[in-house]
Each structure stands twice: as C-alpha cells, then as structure tokens.
Amino acid sequence: MFKNFKKKSLKSKVAIIAFIVVILALTAYVLYSNFKPEPPAEYDVAAVAYGTVSDTLDVSGTVESGLSETFTAIEGVTVEELLVSVGDKVEKGDKLASFNVSGASGYLNDAKKEYDKALADYNNAKNSTDSTAKRKNELQSQIDAKNKEIAKKQKEIEELEQELESAGTVTQQTAISEEQIAVIAAQLAQNGATEEQIEAFITAASQVQIPTVSADTEKTQQLLQKNLELAQLNSQLTALQAENTVTVSTDNDTMLSALKSIADTKKQAYDELKNLIDTMENGWYAQNTGIVTVVNLSVGSKFTPPADNAVSQFDLSALLGGQSVDGNTSALISSLLGGSDSAPTGVGIIIESYDDLAVTVTVGKSDLLKIKKGMTATVTSLNSEYEGEVVYVGATASGSSGLDLSSLMGGTGSSGGAVVKVKIKNPDENVVIGFDVDIKINLQQIDNVIKIPVECVVYNNGEYYVYIYDTDGQTATRRNVILGALDDTSYEIIEGLSEGERVVKSPDPNMEDGTKIKQKTA
C-alpha cells in the first residue's frame, strides 16, 4: 500500500494527506464532543452581613370612613328643603335639609307621659319599700322578745318538773285534754286571735306532756298553766314569723332597681326624642367635610323610615343588671315596659368624611399578638402608596365564614379573627370608600443582625438550610440554619452563619455537598 502511495503523483499525495487530516480532525471533534466534562452550573452568590430586618404583615381590607355622620329622622315630619343628593361633596357648616316637625309632636307627648308614669311607679314602690323595711324591723324586734319569753318559760317548766321528780310524786305523763285546749282556744278567739294563730296554739298545746298524778297538786297546776302559756307563746311566735316572711318577700330590691332603670330609660328616650325633634326643627347642617352617601328624603313628603330600620327594644336583662327574677316579677316588669312603641325613626342622610379614612382588616390570633396600636403601615391603592397607622386592635375574636389565609399560614386553624383598623394619612382621590386595598403593617425593626436574602434559604422535611460557596474550591456545601424575623427581601439568621461567608442564591435543593459551581459575574 505504501509502494502504491509512492507511485502516485505529488498532487494525488497531497489530496490523500489532506483527506486523512480532515478525517482525523472530525474524529477528534466527535470524541471531544461526546466525552468532554459538563461545565459547572452558574449561581449568584450573596455575602453574609450584618444589617436591618423589618418584620411586616401583609393583609388586605376595605376602606371605610373613620368619621361617619348619620342624620336620623322621625316618622311624620315633612321635608321642606333638600339641598343635597348622593355623591355631593359638602363642607362643614353646609345646610342639608329643613323640616316641618308638627307631624311628630304626638310621639313626644306619648314619650313624656310614659316617663311620668314610670317615675310615679318607682316613687310609689320606693315609698312602699321604706314602709315595709320599717315594719320588718318592728317584727324582728317582736320575734326576738318572744324568743326570750319562750326561753324563760321553758326554764320555769324545767325547774318545776325537776322539783316534782325529786319529790317522787309523778306517776305518769299525759297530754293536755282536748277540752282544756278548746277552752283556751275560745278565749284566744275572743281576744282577737286569727285562725292561723289559734291553729298554731292547738298544734303546740297538743304536744305538751304534764304529770297527771302528783301529791303536790299546787305545783302540778302551776306546771299545767306554764305549759299552756308556753304553747300560747309558741303560737304567737309562729304568727310573727309568718308575717315577717310575707313582709320580706314583698321587699324586693330587684324590683325596685328595675323600676328605677325603667324610669331612667323612659327619661332618656324622652330626652333623645326631644333633641331629635329640636335638631330637625332647626335644620340639618354638616358637621364635617365629606361625601353624601345616603339620602332617604323627598321634598314635600312625610318621612317614612326604611323597611329595614331596626326598632329599639328594652333589654330586660340590661335593666336588671344581670340579676335573676322570679316569674311574677318578670311579668310585672314586662307590663310596666308596655305602652306605645318607640317613635319610628330611620336614617335620613349619611355623610362619609374623606378626611379620616381607615381600613378594617381581620387577622388570626398568631398575628394579633404581634400587632400594637401606633405601629406604622403602608397602604397601597390603585398603585399609589400612603402612610398608615394602626389605631385600633380588637381584644376579642369575631366569627368569619370566609377563608382566613393569615390564620392558615399562621397555623391557628381558626375560621375567625380579630379586627384591626389602620388609619390612612393624607388620602387622595385614589382612595375610595368601599374599595379593597393592600396593607403592609410594620411589626418590628431589628437592627444589627446577621441576614441573608430570602432566595438563599431552602426548606425541606422540616429543616431550613443554605449552600455555602467555597471561593477557592468553587464548591457548594449544605448547612442547616435557624431563622428569625423575615421581611420582603431578607431573613434574620439566628444560628448557622457568620459574617463574611458567602451563600448561593436560588440553589438546587438536591445539590450534593462538594458540587462544583461557578459564581455568576455581573
């Protein structure tokens, strides 16, 4: 083969050599392409450094007027002037409407009559209670005196019985005869005793035991007489105790307190109705600058409350301050609360102030513990940002039928939440009442802490970890970390990293220790 090559012309030899070179080059390229090592993956790297982390809470809520002015009208008044309509902007002091209030005078007269009656009921009950208290004191004094008489009489009887027993003259004990009891009962009746007192005497006397055979007949008669006197004293005591029991039951402090509350409530209702009518008679004027959002008036027409207007009712439990009452007392109080219904009223005009707007949000219990009144916030509406401040933090949870994402993320497992209000500072036309806005509440600011970008942290199987970048070896090594506060861009690192170390951004979560990587260049 080599001899044949030597025989070929120079031109052929060059062609053959060139072909062989090309074939070798192609072979080398294919081999290199198939077996060359993969280049290391490129990642951005961040330096571990000290800085500030601002812990925030992102929520959304509905814009409301923090200062809503409601003008209430009473049924029967006639609208003479109506100077505004829904959507109008009004300034403080602007006149809104005027009325003829003569059609509501009947309600005021009825309210005054009900107050006068309630006050009279209370005064009568108070006077009766004072008399009852005096009689109760008298009865108690008589009961105490009667108990002393009974004790004295019992002692006298015991001494006589001991004397008779010592003399050995008593042969047997027997009850007082019915004839003797009947005679004394008849005497009691002649002296004005009641049937209850006579029955009490008969019961007590029938239980008395006296000696029937005794050599000392004088002492036996004395013993009989003293036992009869004791029975009579016991019957008198029973009568006094019965009267005292009845007197105590009619001395009902709860009833008196309720009557006082009713009178106060009727007085308040009368005063409020009079103030309402006086205000309408003088005309309605805006107390603040704002936007008219509700108008339920019509010029020349008598006002009729909207169908959904709630009529106030007396709260019996509130009047009694939570005290329990028996059925008779409850029925009596309910009857005293009767009379004409409260004057029908309803909303005539509502003005929402745009100088004092707030956002109401609902947060879960884990977030509620972090929020304090006075914290600053950022409110975003229609791509515009406004300064805000937490002005109200609810103390109790309210039910919610919706899905509370903040509660779910916080692990509370609760479908309810607590209300938080954020005031919007310097709002403009981009903040609209009734619209939803986004809020970022600044919970806390932590200075001089180790922090890294949030995209450096990986979470898997209950652990948080990062990948440390070795500049010399250009390798990545996994390391677990303990996190602290979080803001939009950074995590606070409580444990696991030191200042100056470098961590991989957005790493492959399954990267093995020692993997070669390349740092991206800017």
Q: Counting Cβ atoms within 10 Å, is residue 65 exposed (0-12), middle (13-18) or buried (19+)?
A: buried
Q: Specify whether the CB–CB gap between 65 and 290 falls below 8 A.
A: yes
Among the listed residues 106, 100, 108, 105, the one whose alpha carbon sits nearest the alpha carbon of residue 301? 100
- Predicted confidence band of residue 412 (pLDDT cuts 50, 70, 90): very low
Could you report the per-residue pLDDT of 135-164, keeping only the tens digit for each?
A: 777 778 888 888 888 888 888 888 877 877
Is 507 a residue whose pLDDT tops 90? yes
- Predicted confidence band of residue 414 (pLDDT cuts 50, 70, 90): very low
> Rounded mean pLDDT of the chain?
79
Token pair 């607590």 is at which residue?
418
In the sheet that 78-82 helps form, which strands lie side by side, from edge to edge?
A: 78-82, 95-100, 284-285
**Mean pLDDT confidence for 179-189:** 69
CA distances from 290 to 67, 87, 89, 293, 391 (A): 9, 10, 6, 9, 21
What is the pLDDT, as a whole number, of residue 411? 40
CA 54/CA 442 separation, integer angstroms: 7
Query: Nearest 10 degrees: CA dihedral of 164, 168, 169, 171?
Result: 110
Lowest mean pLDDT across 188-202, 359-373, 428-442 = 188-202
DSSP H or E segment with residue 515? strand 515-519
Could you report the per-residue pLDDT of 225-269, keeping only the tens digit for each?
A: 777 777 777 777 777 777 677 655 444 667 778 888 888 989 998
Phi/psi region, residue 399 (left: phi>0; alpha: psi -120 to 50; beta: rest), is beta
Token pair 């199987």 is at which residue?
461
